[in-house]
């Protein structure tokens, strides 16, 4: 059956993802030797040179890009409040925001102030979106853990455990166990 082959592939993928996480955790934080830091500092581009070499359209679009920080911050606040209230009510383990919002590239000596600001912005924005996605995924697993009839591009990690589309017996049998899994996240 095609569904069982897909499930097997998804399980192998999940196993590889877990192995990758363990390996990344094992390597820990990167620390540069003094000589490397000095070499990095020599490669830092000055602000005037950075602006001269930037495409004019990038400079014109920058305020629009940075204006997104306001709706992203509002989303960050709103989803955190949602999680604090609803996950407690549903008995779902909370998502650790710090596991998703990682801001550390501004410490790289080869980046100028503008590049560091860009890295902070991107780390924050993408981290918030990943945080929101995990909260939405856990919410979906709680309320509607059913795969879609159509292929979903880049589904979240919880999706592989969902019940097949059009399987009412599987849905009734697995809904409560899938909800209980969320208590131990």
Q: What is the pLDDT of residues 122-131, one digit of tens each?
A: 999 999 999 9
Q: How confident is the model at residue 2 (pLDDT cuts 50, 70, 90)?
A: low
Q: Which residues span the domain enclosing 38?
A: 33-142
The pLDDT value recorded for residue 106 is 87
Angle CA(12)–CA(18)–CA(19) in degrees, nearest 5? 90
Q: What's the number of domains the chain is made of?
A: 1
When pLDDT is averaged across residues 143-157 and rounded to a whole number, the result is 95
Q: Which residue has the higher pLDDT, 156 or 23?
A: 156
Average pLDDT, the chain: 90
Q: Which two tokens stand for residue 156?
A: 């979240």
* CA distance linking residue 137 with residue 139, whole number of Å: 5
Give the model confidence (pLDDT) of 102-139 as tens digits: 999 888 899 999 999 999 999 999 999 999 999 999 99
Residue 112: inside a domain? yes
When pLDDT is averaged across residues 84-88 and rounded to a whole number, the result is 98
Q: Per-residue pLDDT for 28 more than 70?
A: no
Q: What is the pTM of this model?
A: 0.82
Using CA atoms, how far residue 8 sits from 2, 14, 18, 81, 138, in Å, is 10, 10, 15, 37, 22
Residue 149: inside a domain? no
Residue 15: inside a domain? no
Q: Quote the distance between the C-alpha of residue 86 and its chain's center.
A: 20
Residue 154: inside a domain? no
Identify the CA nearest to 100 among candidates 83, 84, 76, 70: 76
């Amino acid at each position: 059956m095609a569904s069982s082959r897909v499930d097997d592939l998804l399980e192998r993928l999940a196993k590889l993802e877990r192995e990758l996480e363990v390996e990344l955790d094992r390597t820990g934080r990167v620390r540069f030797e003094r000589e490397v830091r000095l070499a990095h500092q020599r490669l830092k581009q000055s602000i005037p040179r950075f602006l001269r070499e930037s495409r004019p359209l990038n400079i014109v679009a920058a305020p629009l890009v940075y204006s997104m920080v306001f709706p992203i911050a509002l989303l960050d606040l709103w989803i955190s409040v949602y999680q604090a209230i609803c996950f407690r009510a549903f008995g779902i383990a909370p998502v650790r925001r710090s596991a998703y919002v990682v801001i550390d590239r501004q410490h790289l000596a080869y980046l100028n102030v503008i590049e560091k600001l860009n890295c902070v912005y991107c780390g924050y924005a993408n981290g918030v979106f990943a945080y929101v996605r995990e909260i939405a995924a856990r919410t979906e697993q709680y309320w509607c853990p059913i795969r879609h009839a159509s292929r979903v591009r880049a589904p979240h990690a919880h999706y592989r455990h969902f019940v097949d589309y059009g399987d009412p017996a599987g849905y009734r049998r697995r809904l409560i166990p899938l909800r209980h899994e969320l208590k131990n996240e």
